[in-house]
Amino acid sequence: MSQRVLSRLSRPSALRTRAGVLAAGLGVSMAVGAGSAFAATSGGDVHSGSPVTAAAGSVHQQVTTVGAQDAKDAKKAAAKKAATWTGPVKKYTLSATFGLGGSRWSHKHSGQDFAVPIGTAVHAAHGGTVVKAGPNGAGDGPAYGNAIVVKHGNGTYSQYAHLSKVQVKVGQSVKTGQQIALSGNTGNSSGPHLHFEIRTSPNYGSAVNPVNFLRSVGVKV
């Protein structure tokens, strides 16, 4: 057989071989691509630099940031709420409680007593305006001794009694924590202490539990 004939016969074989190689290569590429798609959709390993991973990381970061900010805002709000009120004295021992009965009172005890030495600084529990100040319970009766009543912007009133010295006047504005008096033992008192009330009006008879109220505004006593 001539060389030319052999050459013609070998061409189809070469073409078939080349096509086979290309098909095999295409099959490998398709297989690899399918494997990657499978990994992405079935929870398999995905390269950390892929768009899917980056997006997931971004969402997680945003959720974490929002959660942390919410917690921070809540903590700040609680601190701000507590900062607007304070206890009337710094160091004390709680003595007679609200609602306590006994021969010392014509009715049940209308406030919370803070046992402190005479001359202890007494502070305004909240900012407001002095509406009562002076002897004879500042108008509420001699049992209170020297007393002060402060009106607050939220419609409540605080009262401070048995004082040794009154340091504010009616009509005066006071700030939260401002010193307004010195504690004493005046009026119907069995020993040095501060009698403290939270009222719904400036007058005797409208008192509510002061400890519960203070706790509701973030002050623990």
CATH assignment at residue 132: 2.70.70.10
pLDDT tens-digit series, residues 60-112: 566 566 677 877 776 665 555 545 999 999 999 998 898 775 545 445 788 99
Which amino acid, residue 161?
A
Please tell me whether residues 109 and 212 are part of one structural domain.
yes
In this prediction, residue 59 has a pLDDT band, given cuts at 50, 70 and 90, of low
Please tell me whether residues 101 and 38 are part of one structural domain.
no
* Residue 82 within a domain: no
pLDDT number for residue 34: 42
* Residue 81 within a domain: no
Please tell me whether residues 123 and 201 are part of one structural domain.
yes
Is the CB of residue 119 less than 8 Å from the CB of residue 162? no
Please tell me whether residues 119 and 14 are part of one structural domain.
no
Please tell me whether residues 42 and 97 are part of one structural domain.
no
Mean pLDDT of 116-144: 97
pLDDT number for residue 56: 54
* Residue 78 within a domain: no
pTM, two decimals, is: 0.63
Catalytic residue among 109, 123, 152, 193: 193
pLDDT tens-digit series, residues 172-188: 999 999 999 999 999 99
In this prediction, residue 139 has a pLDDT band, given cuts at 50, 70 and 90, of very high
User: Is position 60 annotated as part of the catalytic site?
Assistant: no
Rounded Cα distance between 180 and 148, Å, is 8
Rounded Cα distance between 139 and 146, Å, is 10
Terminus-to-terminus CA distance in the chain, angstroms? 117
Please tell me whether residues 129 and 179 are part of one structural domain.
yes
Please tell me whether residues 153 and 101 are part of one structural domain.
yes
Distances (CA, A) of 48 to 35, 40, 54, 169: 17, 12, 7, 71
In this prediction, residue 31 has a pLDDT band, given cuts at 50, 70 and 90, of very low
Rounded Cα distance between 21 and 54, Å, is 38
Is the CB of residue 158 less than 8 Å from the CB of residue 185? no
In this prediction, residue 201 has a pLDDT band, given cuts at 50, 70 and 90, of very high
Q: What is the DSSP letter of 198?
A: E
Please tell me whether residues 209 and 137 are part of one structural domain.
yes
* Residue 40 within a domain: yes
pLDDT number for residue 39: 39
* Residue 76 within a domain: no
Among 32-46, 64-78, 141-155, the range with the most confident prediction by mean pLDDT is 141-155
Mean pLDDT of 148-161: 95
* Residue 6 within a domain: yes
Please tell me whether residues 161 and 205 are part of one structural domain.
yes
Please tell me whether residues 27 and 106 are part of one structural domain.
no
pLDDT number for residue 69: 80
* Residue 24 within a domain: yes
Task: Provide the domain count of the chain.
Answer: 2
* Residue 39 within a domain: yes
Mean pLDDT of 162-171: 98
Rounded Cα distance between 7 and 13, Å, is 10
Please tell me whether residues 38 and 116 are part of one structural domain.
no
Domain extent, residue 185, equals: 93-216
Q: Is the pLDDT score of 19 beyond 60?
A: no
Please tell me whether residues 28 and 114 are part of one structural domain.
no
